[in-house]
Amino acid sequence: MDLKLELQKKADLIEDSLEKYLPKENSPQKHIFDAMRYSIFAGGKRLRPILMLAACDFVGGNIDDVLPFACAIEMIHTYSLIHDDLPAMDNDDYRRGKPTNHKVYGEGIAILAGDALLNYAFELMIRAISKNHKNLERKVLAMKEIAEASGIYGMIAGQVVDLLSENKKIDGTKLDFIHNHKTAALIIAPIRAGAILSGASKEELEALTVFAKNIGLGFQIRDDILDIIGDEKKLGKKVGSDTENQKSTYPSVYGLDASKKKVDELFNKSVKAIEHFGSRSEFFIQLSNYLVKREY
């Protein structure tokens, strides 16, 4: 299996679906459609929806049932970035090499575009559920996974603690809390939701969950490492901003070497969780290896 090719195929499918789902017709509120589309099509890697499609493949489900949920999670991820970039939060002017939403549309519209994407993510999932009642209970359960991972016991919990920890030295426990909630929750949810939608067995779901937890945390620690050793051109953003903003990161709390070792350890654990499924786990294992060694 060629990982890059498979990633591209899945990303293209997501791209087409997002294009189809996101409105653009002429109407009094067209401006918000434009603002939503601006950030959705600003060059994201589509990692979260790809993970959901891969979980569907792993279990042997139907991609068409999964696509609305996969696009919903990308919308939720994108809304969180728009709000995170606002002056009252991280105050970032650029993301992925492009001006952030509020730099283009102004703060008011950026706040509304974030709200709109979050709300629309739920509209999309609910519409998929109410249009086709097949496997209704699975779909409700998958939506529950996504909703809880995005909320005050998931991503938002991480964002709040992160915001409150600005310019403060924090300990490993608090840092783990931030990483596990702010980032890992939205890595775990698409994998679990994709598996649930596809009718995963208890054993499959449990193995995928362990896999997901490990790559979720590994992905964020790699992010922290890249802010130190990364290449600005490849990353499409400034490096060293965590240090500049006195942000606590894995390397600042545990040191760079320990962080690299931790990422390797998480990678090994992720592989161990699913390797006994044989060829079905090939994509996830290659992806894990790629994510924890990524340079952007």
Q: How far is CA 289 from CA 267, 279, 285, in A?
A: 7, 16, 6
- Between CA 124 and CA 146 the distance in angstroms is 13
Q: How far is the CB of 124 from a second copy (least distance, A)?
A: 9
Q: How far is the CB of 242 from a second copy (least distance, A)?
A: 17
Interface residue with a second copy, options 3, 11, 63, 163 (CB under 8 A): 163
- Between CA 192 and CA 280 the distance in angstroms is 16
Site membership for a second copy, residue 31 (CB under 8 A) = yes
| Residue closer to a second copy (CB basis): 139 or 262 | 139
- Between CA 260 and CA 183 the distance in angstroms is 18
Here's the x/- map for a second copy, 128-157, by CB under 8 A: it reads as -xx--x--xx--xx-xx--xx-xxxx--xx
Q: Which of 241, 244, 245 is nearest to 223 (CA)?
A: 241
Given a contact cutoff of 8 angstroms between Cβ atoms, the answer to whether 221 and 182 are in contact is no
Q: Which of 121, 138, 139, 142 is nearest to 21 (CA)?
A: 121
What tokens does 186 get? 């939205």
Stretch that binds a second copy, among 23-31, 44-52, 208-216, 281-289 (CB under 8 A): 23-31
Site membership for a second copy, residue 172 (CB under 8 A) = no
Site membership for a second copy, residue 159 (CB under 8 A) = yes
Interactions with a second copy, residue window 99-128 (CB under 8 A) = 106-112, 114-116, 118-120, 122-123, 126-127
Q: Is the dihedral of CA 120, 124, 125, 127 positive or negative?
A: positive
Site membership for a second copy, residue 83 (CB under 8 A) = yes
* Contact residues: a second copy, CB under 8 A: 23, 27-29, 31-33, 36, 79, 83, 86, 88-89, 106-112, 114-116, 118-120, 122-123, 126-127, 129-130, 133, 136-137, 140-141, 143-144, 147-148, 150-153, 156-157, 159-161, 163-164, 174, 177, 181
